[in-house]
Amino acid sequence: MEVFAFADGELVTLQGNVQGTHFFIVAEGTLTILRDGAMRNEITQGAAFGESVILLSGAQNATVRSKGSSRVYGVTGHAIRRTLRNRYQKDRKRASKLINDLLGAGQCTLLHNLSPYQTQCLFDKCGMSCFVRGDVLMKEGEAVNTLHVLVQGSLSLSVKGNRLEPPGAFGIIGEMGLLYTKADATAITQEPSQTLTLTRELLRDMFGDKLEEELLRSCLLGRLVQHGLFAGLSMEQLDVIAGLCQILELPAEAELEEQEVYFMMCIHGRVEVEASVPGTGPGNKKQELSGITGDSLGEECVTQENVPWMLRVRSAAGTTDAVKFAIWKNTGLGEFLKQKSRLEAAATRHADSPMNNRPSFKKLTSMRMAVWQDDKEAALRKVVVLRTLSSEQLRQLAAALEVQYVAAGETVFSQGEEGKDFYIIHTGQLSVKIGDRHVRTLGMGDYVGERALLFSEPRSATITVVEDSELWKMNKEAFMDVVKGPILDYMKDRIAFQNTKVELDSLICLRIIGRGGFGVVKMVQLPTTSTRYALKCVNKRQAVAQKQQKALALERSILAELDHPFVIKFIRSFLGKHYVYFLMELVTGGELLDALDSLGLLKKPQAQFYSGSIILALEFLHERRIAYLDIKGENCLIDQHGYLKIIDFGIAERLRGGRIYAVKGTPLFMAPEVILGKGYNCSADLWSLGICLYDFMVGRFPFGSDTASNPEIFRAVLKSPLKLPKGIEREEATKQILMGLLTRDPTKRLGAGPEGYDAIKQHPFFSDFRWDELLSRQLSAPYLPKRETYAEDQENPNTEKASAHTNPRMTSAGFATCEGDEADDTWADPDPSWQEHF
C-alpha cells in the first residue's frame, strides 16, 4: 500500500478519467466529492473512494479534491483483486489438482458420480492432509468424524492385528466408521501419503438425507472391487451390479431365511450362513462371513449356472451391532459374468490379430449396459439421433421393437438394398462388410441401420451373423407413427453432421453471413450432399495481436464435446495459412432479439419457451462443469422452426478448480460475484438467466440500462434493490423465480443448491410447462421465421445481392475468393504451438 499527500485544492481523482489505477482510503484531512461539477459530499479519515478501479470498470465516476492538506492510502485495483484471488487459492490449488485427478480417474467408490452441486462442494470445502510413514489415520474402535480418500502413498489396514487388503489409489478409508461412529479397522501409512479429507458436515451437505445410503453403497462397491469375480470392471459396471442386489440388515442375535439366492456378500459385521438347495434335505454348506474382508457365498451359482440357494442367516456369536449384507436373487448377475467371460476369451483369442476390434467388456458402454439389463427404453436413449426424444416417445418406440432371432451365417441386410429397418444387438455378434472387405464386428449394445428410419436410400454395407443372435428391430413405419414434426429435420441434421471428414477444399463459399472482431462467418456448402454449414474464419494475426490463442484453443475444445439441441453444433476445425476455421451447423432464423422485437413483451408461455431452452442448455453445460459466462439475447439464434440455439463460446470457461477469477461477460448481465473478484462458478450463469427472463417479461434490465456507464451498472448490480413492475408483483410465481435467480448470494441462488436444475424446472413458474416436449421439439415456437435471416443482412441490406457470385471453393491456403478475406503473406506467428489444437 502506498501513501499519497495532497495540498489544499489539489485533485486526487477526476471524473471521467479512464487512466485511474488506485483505490484510496483517507488517512487524515478532509476531501470533497464533486459529481458533474456540483459538490456532493465531504469525507474524512477512514472513508474510501475510487472503487471503479477494483471493478476494472474504466472511468472515474466522481472528482475528488483535497480540502486543506490531506494524506490518503492507495492500492491498485489489480493488487486488490489479486489479493482476493490469492486468499482463496492459497490453500486450494493443490487440493483442486488432487480433486481433478480423483474425478478424472472415476475410480472412487463414493465420489465417481457426483452432481454439479456435489462437485462444487468438494472443490470448495474438501480438505487435504499429508502424513509421514507410521501415522495413524484411524484406530479400531475409536470415534470417526472424517473420511479419507487416498490420493498418494500407501496404507496398511488391520483388525485385531490381522492384516487386510489395503486400499488402492482413490480408495476410501472410514466410511463404515462414519456409519457406525467408530472405526472398524486401524489404518497406518506405510510411506509419505496424502489424502483428501471429507468431514461428516461436508458429506451431509453433499448427500443430505441419503448420506447413510451412499456410504453403505460405497462400502459395497469397495468390497466388489476387491473380489476376483468382478476384477477389471469399471465403476459404472459395478454400479449396475450393486443395483441388482438387496441390502439387508440383521439385528444382533437375530435370524432370517431367504429363498432363491444366487450370490451373497457380507458388508458389515459377521454372520453365520447355512446354505442348501431346496428339496435336497439338510443344509450342505455352512460358513461364517465377515464384512471387513468382504466374504461372499455363491460363486458357483453365478459362474456355473447352478440352481439358487436357500439361505439361513444368523448373526455370529458375540456380534453386538446390526449386520449388513447383500444378496442377489435373479439370474442377471450370472448372465452379466457369462458375457464378461465370453468377451474376455474372444479378446484373448484374437489379441494378435490386426483386425481385432471385438468389443472389450472392460469398455462396455452405457448403451451395452442398458441392453444387457433388457431396458429397451434406456437403450434407445443412447442412440445418438434418438436421445432428445421425449420419455413418452421412447416408451412407444420401445414397445414397437420386435425381437428377431437370427442364426450364424444368415444375412440381416445386403449392401445396395433399400433400408427399411433399424437393429440393436441384444445378444450375439454381427459382421459388417463393405464389398468384400470386413470393416468391423458388432456385439451386444451396438446398433446398425439408423439412417433407414429417416432416409429412403440403399444400404451402405452388408450385415451378416457371426454367431446366433437376438436382435431388436424397428421398422420405419412404426418409427414415423411416433416421431413427427420439426424433430425429424433436427434428426436428419444430426446424421448429416456425423460426417466429420469434410475437408476445407471441398466446400463452396456461398456468401458472408456475419462479421466479428477477428474475421467473418461464411455460409458454405458441401456439393456432394448439398449440406450447408456456417464457417467461422478467425484471422490468426489479429488473434495473436489480441493474445487470444489460448481462448481460441479452449473454445474449440469445449465445442468439440457439446451435442445438445439448444447449443450450436460444432462439426470440426481447419487450420489454414492465415486463418483457423470453425465448421458449424448453419442456423437460419436470425437472432433471438429479432423474435423479441416481433413479439414485444413476452407472455408467460412465450417466456417459458425461450427461458426453458436456455435452462436446458445451461443444465447440459453445467453438468460438464462448463460456465458459459455470456448469456444474453445476442448470443442466441433461432432456427428455421423457431427453436433457440446458443452460440459463441469465446469466453466460456471449464472449471478445473473450484472457482474462476477472470472478469468476463457483458456488464448488464454480469453476476455480483463476477464483479467483486472473489471467484465464481457456474451459478453466475443463473444470474444472467434471471436478467434475460426479466428483460423478456418487463422489457428492460433490472440493474442499469444500455446507456449507463459500467461503474453505474456495477453499483446497481451490487447494491440496488430488485424492482418489479406491479403486473409482475401480482404474479407470485413469476415474482419468486425472478427473485430466486437474481439472488446476490450465489450459494442461495435458485438452481445452485442441492436440487440443482430441478429446483428451477419444478418451480411454480413452470408448473404447466412440458419439458420433455420442449426437448423433443414438439411444442409450437412463439415465433416462426418467415425467411432466412443473418446478421450481415441487418447490417447491410444489400449484402445478399452483393455476395451472390460464382460459388468459389475454399482453399487450405487460408482464404477463398469470397468477399471478406484479407491476408498478409509477410506475417509469421512467433509461437505457432497453439495451432496444434486445430
For residues 128 and 47, state if they share a domain.
no
The dihedral through the CA atoms of 805, 807, 813, 815 has a sign that is positive
Q: Can you tell me the mean pLDDT for 729-753?
A: 95
Kindly state the average pLDDT of the residues 637-658. Answer: 92
Are 65 and 114 part of one and the same domain? no
Distance CA 636, CA 568 (A): 9
pLDDT of 434 > 90? The answer is yes
CB-CB contact of 52 with 61 (8 Å): yes
Higher pLDDT, 79 or 767: 767
C-alpha 531/C-alpha 443 separation (Å) is: 32
Task: Give the distance between the most distant pair of CA atoms in the chain.
Answer: 108
pLDDT at 195 over 50: yes
Is pLDDT at 278 greater than 60 in this prediction? yes
Q: Is the domain of 602 the same as that of 659?
A: yes
Across 31-41, b (16+ Cβ under 10 Å) vs e yields: bbbbeeeeeee
Cα–Cα distance between 102 and 114 in angstroms, integer? 12
pLDDT at residue 812 tops 70: no
Distances (CA, A) of 637 to 20, 521, 634: 38, 14, 8
Alpha carbon distances (Å) from 299 to 260, 296, 328, 337:
14, 8, 11, 11
- Tell me, what's the pLDDT at 824? 66
Q: Which residues pair with 129 in a beta bridge?
A: 195
The stretch 548-557 carries a mean pLDDT of 92
Concatenate the DSSP letters of all residues of 786-798 into one string. Answer: SS-B-HHHHH-TT
Q: What pLDDT score does 363 carry?
A: 47
At residue 749, the pLDDT reads 97
Query: Does the residue 808 lie in any domain?
Result: no
pLDDT band for 809, please (50, 70, 90 cuts). Answer: low
d(CA 656, CA 658): 7
Q: Is residue 648 part of a domain?
A: yes
Residue 804 reports pLDDT greater than 50: no
- Kindly state whether residue 471 falls inside one of the protein's structural domains: yes
Q: What's the distance, CA 734 to chain centroid? A: 28
Q: Check: CB of residue 149 under 8 Å from CB of residue 196.
A: yes
3-state class of 293 per DSSP?
coil
Q: Write down the pTM of the prediction.
A: 0.83
In a domain, 649, yes or no: yes
Q: Is the same domain home to 637 and 752?
A: yes
Helices (H), 561-709: 592-599, 604-623, 672-676, 684-698
C-beta pairs of 211-215 under 8 Å, 24+ apart in sequence: 212/179, 214/110, 215/110, 215/175, 215/176, 215/178, 215/179
Q: Which of 696, 701, 691, 704 is nearest to 738 (CA)?
A: 691
Question: Is the domain of 223 the same as that of 261?
Answer: no
Q: Are residues 627 and 690 in the same domain?
A: yes
In a domain, 365, yes or no: no
pLDDT digits (tens, 9 = 90+) for 280-323: 655 567 889 999 889 998 887 777 767 788 889 999 888 888 89
CA distances from 768 to 109, 196, 395, 764, 775 (A): 39, 44, 22, 8, 15
Whether residue 610 sits in one domain with residue 577: no
Confidence of residue 829 (pLDDT cuts 50, 70, 90): confident
Q: Is residue 814 part of a domain?
A: no
Determine the pLDDT at residue 359: 46
Cβ contact 369:465 at 8 Å: no
The residue range of the domain holding 578 is: 498-585
Q: Is the pLDDT of residue 783 over 90?
A: yes
Task: Give the whole-angstrom CA distance, residue 494 versus residue 515.
Answer: 26
- How many CB atoms are closer than 10 A to CB 700? 10
CATH number of the domain to which 409 belongs: 2.60.120.10
Q: The domain spanning residue 273 has which CATH number?
A: 2.60.120
Q: What is the CATH number of the domain that holds 571?
A: 3.30.200.20
Domain boundary at 229, 264, 284, which?
229
- Please state the domain count of the chain: 6
Q: Are residues 306 and 451 in the same domain?
A: no
Q: Are 526 and 533 in contact (CB under 8 A)?
A: yes
**CA angle at residue 302 from 297 to 304, to 5 degrees?**
110
Residue 536 assigned to a binding site:
yes
Residue 705 pLDDT? 87
| Residues labelled catalytic | 630
Residue 753 is assigned to a structural domain of this protein: yes
Answer yes or no: is pLDDT of 664 > 70.
Answer: yes
Measure the CA–CA gap between 213 and 829, rounded to whole angstroms.
56
Q: What is the pLDDT of residue 709?
A: 84
Residues 125-140 pLDDT 10s: 999 999 999 999 999 9
Q: Three-state DSSP class for 423?
A: strand
410447462: which residue's cell? 769
Does 594 lie in the same domain as 575?
Answer: no
pLDDT of 819 over the 50 cut: no
Confidence of residue 815 (pLDDT cuts 50, 70, 90): very low
Q: Does a structural domain hold residue 785?
A: no
**Strand 263-268 relative to strand 323-328: parallel, antiparallel, unpaired?**
antiparallel
pLDDT tens for 690-734 read 999 999 999 999 998 888 888 889 989 999 999 999 999 999 999
The Cα–Cα gap between 824 and 393 comes to 54
Same domain, 53 and 150: no
> Which of 539, 555, 585 lies at the terminal end of a domain, its last residue?
585
pLDDT at 820 exceeding the cut of 50:
no
User: Which residue, 570, 585, 600, sits at the end of a domain?
Assistant: 585
Q: Are residues 640 and 543 in the same domain?
A: no
CATH code where residue 723 lies:
1.10.510.10
d(CA 331, CA 302): 8
**pLDDT of residue 816 exceeding 50:** no
Q: Does 192 lie in the same domain as 145?
A: yes
Task: Give 208-239 pLDDT, tens digit per residue.
Answer: 999 999 999 999 999 999 888 888 788 888 88
Across the range 519-533, mean pLDDT stands at 92
pLDDT attached to residue 249: 92
- Mean pLDDT of all residues in 113-119: 92
Spatial distance between the Cα atoms of 827 and 649, rounded to a whole number of angstroms: 27
Residue 501 pLDDT greater than 90, yes or no:
no
